[in-house]
């Protein structure tokens, strides 16, 4: 994982989701197909109420890792929150 992903994880654990989102976006600017960064970004976006944007990240992660259960699970959760 890249430095920005790790920094984003630290900010998320501290509850500073807005800064975490910025770090995850920087990570994705360098590694566009980073599934871990997409999932982490989506989780942080849910925490700040940006659910439609989070859903986009989870859907992208599903495209990149079709065999992985985590993007599907998080996408389902985001859809649940939208209702």
Q: How far is CA 45 from CA 8, 25, 67, in A?
A: 12, 11, 23
Q: Count the neighbouring beta carbons within 10 Å of the beta carbon of residue 74.
A: 22
Q: Measured between alpha carbons, how far is 39 from 7 in angstroms, rounded to an integer? A: 15
Two structure tokens written together for 75 = 């996408």
CB 36 within 8 A of CB 60: no
For residue range 28-79, what is the model confidence (pLDDT) as tens digits?
999 999 999 999 999 999 999 999 999 999 999 999 999 999 999 999 999 9
pTM value surpassing 0.75: yes
């Amino acid at each position: 994982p890249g430095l920005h992903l790790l920094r984003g994880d630290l900010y998320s654990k501290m509850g500073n989701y807005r800064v975490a989102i910025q770090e995850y976006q920087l990570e994705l600017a360098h590694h566009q197909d980073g599934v871990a960064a997409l999932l982490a970004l989506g989780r942080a976006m849910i925490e700040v109420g940006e659910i439609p944007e989070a859903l986009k990240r989870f859907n992208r992660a599903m495209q990149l890792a079709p065999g992985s259960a985590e993007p599907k699970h998080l996408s389902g959760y985001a859809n649940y929150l939208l209702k």
